[in-house]
Amino acid sequence: MSKAVRILVDGVSLQAQEGQSLTAALMMAGVPAIRRSPTGEARGALCAMGSCHECRATVDGVRGVRTCLVKVSEGLRVQREVPLSHAPLQAAAEENDGARLQRIETGLAVIGAGPAGLAAACAAAELGTEVVVIDESMGPGGRIWSHRHEPPLAARSWLERARAAGVRKLQGYTVYQGRAGDLEVARVTDGKRLRIHCETIVVATGARERFLPFPGWTLPGVVGAGALQSLIKGGLNIDGRRVMVAGTGPLLLAVARLAKESGAEVILAEQSPLAQRSSLAIPLLLSPSRWKPALQLWKSLDGIEQHPSSWVTEARGEGVVREVVLRTPAGDRVMEVDGLAVGYGLIPETRTAAGLGCELDPSGTVRVDSLQQTTVEGILCAGEPTGIAGCEAAVDEGLVAGIVAAGKTPRSRLLARVRRHRFWGQALEEAHPIRDEVQKLAGAEEILCRCEDVPVGEVCGVSSMREARLIHRVGMGPCQGRICESASICQAWSGSDTIRPPWSVVPGENQGPGSDL
């Protein structure tokens, strides 16, 4: 059992559990929204994975801290942020002097400690390479293997192998700029910076959720499907709560199961028809390692209210979500809920790879060859940045990348497995196409860019990403477009996002005009 501790939120003492994610602790304490948007709307956590920056606050005097990446400890001080004074700006400028950064030398730097990153680190270290793993989460394992107490069974052997091989971990650090051979990282809790000089880099940054705007999607209590999973693993108690999990993709099933096991009354809504998803039957049967867990997962959903070919059209509530309008084949239904988790699949997290100069395919994935080598010499990429194909694929790609980074040649059997995984990823995508109706739910009044409060109607005449940024500030806030740019209206614009450093907002920095910080 975790120890009860006290934290201070805007000077008010609240009880929490030691080791909880700060976001989960705030929600359990009745603080669903820690910040306000530029127009004054209360905003709560959306992704709970560090992408959306909606949960940011001042923590122990440090501005811009993403509370989903912070563990609760006794006496932690949390404040809603106020306008900057000149002193923090000067301090940030002085600390950002690259010449003063502490330097770390290593053979291989692995960015990301999920399945792909851990596999790459273990493979390289066991072949004699000195390895440093950089990961911004509270603990290793990535989102799929995240844990608060004991790591899941699938992760234990990798974590033990990494420890035994002498892999060095920089946990709670984010890469904010760099190039092949040199990376600059900052601690997510206080902005402390380090410089890493390395011979090779493996980018294993995983994926983020795809969010599509709809009426009420900015209400506190509306989170991503993967966000609900992270919050529960981070200590959020949903026992007895009525929760809807909606959207599309296999992640919904895993989240619904976890919510059910955590004591919630779960409603599951999948926008794809069952007939379309049945196309996965043959690829599953051809992969015994996948169909057995899939069958167990499906059986675990017994007793959950399920709605195929259904999607959320509106979330309602005063200050927090209380009702959901669900469109079903039988018509619209208004359902009372205590929380709503909506996610429309995953998007490869390629920002770091693109910032390092790696080319992307037209599909938006990092371009790699059969040995996971990118178009930049000395940089490899593994896992979901190269395509969404699940945990097994991430592990095998990570093994290939780690072996190559160590100067060795992977066995043909391993390379063949990687090729088969990519066919599975294609089958997953084809089984869960997003309906046109879902992509057109947001009207002119709905917020498109949450960071800058830009409504859909304001950008209806926009034709390019550059115009949207320069004139309307779409994608100019702390999340840098990670959330809004997956919406259909943004996808229709010409041009692409320009990745410039810093690739991630560092705590304590001036986060620029236009935000509420």
Give Cα separations from 493 to 33, 71, 394 (angstroms). 32, 39, 31
The average pLDDT across 356-371 equals: 95
280-292 tens-digit pLDDT: 777 776 777 787 8
Per-residue buried b or exposed e for 320-345, using 16+ beta carbons within 10 Å of the residue's own CB:
bbbebbbbeeeeeeebebbbbbbbbb
CA 269/CA 248 separation, integer angstroms = 8
pLDDT per residue over 36-47, tens digit each? 998 899 999 999
Q: What is the pLDDT of residues 83-124, one digit of tens each?
A: 565 555 555 455 555 557 899 999 999 999 999 999 999 999
Residue 397 confidence (pLDDT): 98
DSSP secondary-structure letter at 174? Answer: E
Instruction: Over range 52-74, report the average pLDDT.
Output: 94
Q: Looking at this protein, which amino acid is placed at residue 196?
A: I
Please state the three-class secondary structure of 189-218 as a single string.
CCCCEEEEEEEEEEECCCEEECCCCCCCCC
In contact, 362 and 400? CB cutoff 8 Å: no
Strands (E), 271-348: 305-308, 311-316, 323-328, 331-336, 339-344, 346-348
Please give the Cα distance from 486 to 347 (Å, whole number): 8
Check whether 483 has a pLDDT greater than 90: yes
pTM, full prediction: 0.92
Task: Please tell me the distance from the alpha carbon of residue 182 to that of residue 106, in angstroms, as a whole number.
Answer: 10
Q: Among 226, 187, 186, 180, which Cα is nearest to 203's?
A: 180
Structure tokens at 227: 């966000």
**Two tokens, residue 52:** 């959306």
282-333 per-position pLDDT tens digit: 777 677 778 788 888 889 999 999 999 999 999 999 999 999 999 999 999 9
The torsion angles phi and psi of 345, rounded to 5 degrees, stand at 85, -170
Instruction: Report the DSSP beta bridge partners of residue 208.
Output: 347
